[in-house]
Amino acid sequence: MSSTRFDKFWEIYNSERLRRGLLYLVLIVMVFWILLPLWAAFVTAFKSQQDLQTTAPYQPSPSPTLEPLRATFEIMIRPLFNSLTFTIFATIFSCLIGSMAGFILSRIQFKGSETVFLLIIVGIFIPYQAVLVPLFLTMARLGLINNLLALVITHTAFGIPICTLLFRSFYEEIPESLINAAIVDGAGIWRIYRKIVLPLSTLPFIVATVFQFTNIWNDFLFGLILSSGINAQPASVALSNLKGSQVALWHYQMAGTLWYSLPSLLVYFFLGKYLMRGFMTGALKG
Amino acid sequence: MLMPAIALVGYFVYVSIIWNLVVSVSDWKGLRPSYNFSGFGEYLDLMDDTKFRTSLTNNIMLILLFVPMSLVLGLFMAILLDQHLKYEGFFRTIFLLPFTLSFVVTAYLWRWMYNPKQGVINMLLRNSGLGFLAQDWVTNPDLVMYSIVFALLWQFSGYVMLIFLAGIRSIPETQINAAKLDGASGFYLYRRVIIPQIKSSSFTAFVILMVFALKAFDFIFILTGGGPGYSSEILSLTMYEEAFAITNFTTGSAIATIMFFLVMLIVLPYLHITYRRKN
C-alpha cells in the first residue's frame, strides 16, 4: 500500500511541468535575493529625511525627491571626474602595452619567452599588500602622493598582466602563416604589429577596455594609499568617507553609492557581453 | 615592444616584492627609512601578537566558509541555468550583476542591509512578524564573520556560476547525448557525467576564490573595519593598519610578506598545472 503511495509521489515528482515550476520558483527567489540590496539602495536614494523615518527601507517613497542626489552630487562630482580621468588613461596605456606584449609572447619565439610570460602572469594574482609599502615609498619619492599621475602609473602597471594574458589568448588565433608570410616579405616586428595584428584587434581591444575600465573604476585600495587627500581623491575613496562625514544619513549614503556605481552599471548593461569575456579570460584561458 | 611590460611589471611587482621583504627584516622604526638588517624578529613577534593571531584565525575561517559555499552555490546556479531556459540571458545578467560592482558599493549596500535599527533585513523581519529573528548582524562579534560571508556569497556566486556554466558548455554534446541514450538523466547525469568533466573549471574557481579570500580588503574595511573589537579583523586589514595608520612599516611589510607566500602557495601550483599541460 505504501508502495503505491510512493509511486504516486514519484509520478508527480517526475512530471515535467512540476519540475519546471519548481525550477522557476527557485530562480525567481534568487533574483529577489540578488536585487533586494540594490532595490533598497535605489529607493532610499530618493527619500527625504522624513520618509527615512516613516517608510520601510525597501518601500519606495510616496513623494520621491532628488535632494539626496543633488546634495551628494556636489560632494562626488570632483572625485567622479578624478576617477574618470585616471581610469581612462590607465585603461588606454595598459591595453596598448598589454597588446604589444601579448603579440610578442604569442607570435615571436625567443629563448625564455615562456618564462617571461609566466612572470608577467603572476602579477595577476599577487596580493597588492605585498607591494603597498614600496609603492607608497616610490610615489612619495617622486612627489606624486595625492596626484592623479600616481594612479595612472599604478593602474597601468598592475593592469598589464591581465591585458597581456587577454591579448595573447586572442592573438594565438591569428593564423601563423599570415605572420610568417610578412616575415618572409622582410617586414619588421613593428610593421607586422601595425599592419597585420592591430587591424585584427578590434574585439580584444573592446574586451580589454571594458574589463580594465570596470576594474580600475572599482578600485579602492590604491586610491586609499596613494591619493586619499582632497586634491586627487578617487570616487571610491570619496564615497568611503561619506559614512563618517556630516551627511552621514542613509539617504545620502545611498545617493552617493548610486552616483559612484552609475558608470559601472552603464558599462555592464550596454557592454556586458564583452565584460563577461574579460571575466572568462582570467578564468578559462588562464 | 615587450620592454614597457617588462619594465613596469618588473619594477612594480618584482622589485617591490623584494623591497617589501627587505623592509620587513630591517631596523626601520619611525618615519625615516633605514635598511640595516635586523633579523627576523618582526616575524617572531607576530607569532605572539594577539591581533595578528586573531586576524590569521579569522582569515582561515573566512576561507573555510566562503570558498566551499561559493563553489556549491555557484555550481547549483550553473545547473539551474543549464536547463534550456527561455530567459537564460536575463537570469545570467541579474546573477552576475553584483560582481561587476565595486566592493565599496557592495559594502555600502550591505551596511544598509545589516543596520540593526533601520536596516533592510531587520525591518523586513519585523514587518513580516518575524521580529524575533532580527539580529545585530555586524555588531555582534559571534555573528559578524557569518554576515560577511553571506554578503560575499551574494557578490561572488554569479561569477562562480559563470565559470561553471562555461565548463559545462564546453563538454562535447555527443558525450552528453550518449549518456542520455544510456538512460542517464537529471541528478544522475550531473553526478556521473557532467560534474566529473568540469574539474578544471572547479580548480580555477577554487584558486580564484582562495586568492580573493586571502587578500580581501575593501569590502570588510568598509563594512566593519575589522570590528567589533578584532572579531572580523583579517590579514589585509592588520597589514594596512600597521603600515599606514600607525606607520609601523616593518610590521606591515612582514604581514604583507606572509600574505604573499600564502597566495603563492596556491597560485604557483595552479600556473604550473595550467601552463605545463599546454606545452
DSSP structure class, residue B198: G
Nearest to B110 by CA among B79, B153, B46: B153
Query: Per-domain residue ranges for chain B?
Result: 40-278
**B26: phi then psi, degrees, rounded to nearest 5:** -95, 175
Mutate to test the interface with B, among A20, A83, A133 (most CBs of B within 10 A): A133
DSSP structure class, residue B168: H
User: How distant is the alpha carbon of residue B134 from its chain centre?
Assistant: 27
Give dist(CA A117, CA A122) in Å, integer: 9
Sign of torsion over alpha carbons B20, B24, B26, B29: positive
Nearest to A79 by CA among A274, A286, A230, A280: A230
Q: How far is B200 from chain A (nearest CA, A)?
A: 9
Task: Note whether A45 and A257 are within 8 A (CB).
Answer: yes
- Indicate the helix (H) or strand (E) that contains B152: helix B144-169
Q: Check CB contact under 8 Å for A38 and B201.
A: no
Cross-strand bridge partners of residue B26: B37
Nearest to A163 by CA among A195, A194, A117: A117
A94-143: per-residue pLDDT in tens? 999 999 999 999 988 888 888 999 999 999 999 999 999 999 999 999 99
Share of chain A above pLDDT 70, in %: 92
Buried b / exposed e over A130-140, threshold 16 CB at 10 Å, is bbbbbbbbbbe
Residue type present at position A188: G
Span A206-216, average pLDDT: 95
Query: CB distance from A103 to chain B under 8 Å?
Result: yes
Q: Is A244 exposed, middle or buried (0-12, 13-18, 19+ CB in 10 A)?
A: exposed
Q: Is A109 exposed, middle or buried (0-12, 13-18, 19+ CB in 10 A)?
A: exposed
pLDDT at A284 over 60: no
Nearest to A83 by CA among B236, B102, B110: B102
Pinpoint the alpha helices (H) of B38-135. Answer: 41-48, 50-81, 88-96, 103-114, 120-127
Residue type present at position A49: Q
Query: CB distance from B31 to chain A under 8 Å?
Result: no
Q: How is domain A67-285 classified at the architecture level of CATH?
A: Orthogonal Bundle (1.10)
Q: Identify the band that residue A248 occupies on the pLDDT scale cut at 50, 70 and 90.
A: low
Interface predicted TM-score (ipTM): 0.91
Query: CB distance from B65 to chain A under 8 Å?
Result: no
Query: Per-domain residue ranges for chain A?
Result: 2-44, 67-285
**B221: phi then psi, degrees, rounded to nearest 5:** -55, -45
Rounded (10°) angle between helices B249-278 and A113-125: 130
Give the count of beta carbons closer than 10 Å to the beta carbon of residue B54.
18
Give dist(CA B43, CA B250) in Å, integer: 10
In this complex, which of B23, B100, B221 lies closest to A214 when CB atoms are compared?
B100
Nearest to A80 by CA among A223, A246, A245: A223
Taking contacts as CB-CB distances below 8 angstroms, the residues of chain B near A28 are: none
- Indicate the helix (H) or strand (E) that contains A74: helix A67-107
Which pLDDT score, from 0 to 100, does residue A81 have? 96
Q: How far is A215 from chain B (nearest CA, A)?
A: 8
Which pLDDT score, from 0 to 100, does residue A84 have? 96
Which pLDDT score, from 0 to 100, does residue A1 have? 46
Q: Which residue bears the cell 520601510?
A: A56
Q: Identify the band that residue A230 occupies on the pLDDT scale cut at 50, 70 and 90.
A: confident
Sign of torsion over alpha carbons B20, B24, B30, B35: negative
Query: What's the number of CA atoms in the CB half-sphere (13 Å) around residue B89?
Result: 3
* Closest residue, chain A, to B115 (C-alpha): A250
pLDDT at A38 over 70: yes
Task: Note whether B96 and A248 are within 8 A (CB).
Answer: no
> Going residue by residue through chain B (279 aa), what tens digit of pLDDT does each one get?
899 999 999 999 999 999 999 999 988 877 777 788 888 888 988 888 999 999 999 999 999 999 999 999 999 999 999 888 888 999 999 999 999 999 999 999 999 999 988 899 999 999 998 888 888 999 999 999 999 999 999 999 999 999 999 898 888 888 888 887 887 777 778 887 888 888 888 999 999 999 999 999 999 999 999 989 999 999 999 999 999 998 889 999 999 999 999 999 999 999 988 877 555
pLDDT at A13 over 70: no
Query: CB distance from B105 to chain A under 8 Å?
Result: yes
Which pLDDT score, from 0 to 100, does residue A5 have? 67
pLDDT at A282 over 70: no
Measured in Å, how far apart are chain B's first and last C-alpha atoms? 24
Chain B residues 144-163 within an 8 A CB cutoff of chain A: 154, 158-159, 162-163
* Closest residue, chain A, to B201 (C-alpha): A284
Which pLDDT score, from 0 to 100, does residue B279 have? 54
Query: CB distance from A126 to chain B under 8 Å?
Result: yes
Q: Is A74 exposed, middle or buried (0-12, 13-18, 19+ CB in 10 A)?
A: exposed
In this complex, which of A33, A134, A225 lies closest to B244 when CB atoms are compared?
A225
Residue A209: all three cell numbers together: 577596455
Chain A residues 1-20 within an 8 A CB cutoff of chain B: none
**Which CATH number is B40-278's, of 2.60.40.10, 3.40.50.300, 1.10.490.10, 1.10.3720.10?**
1.10.3720.10
A32: helix, coil or strand?
helix
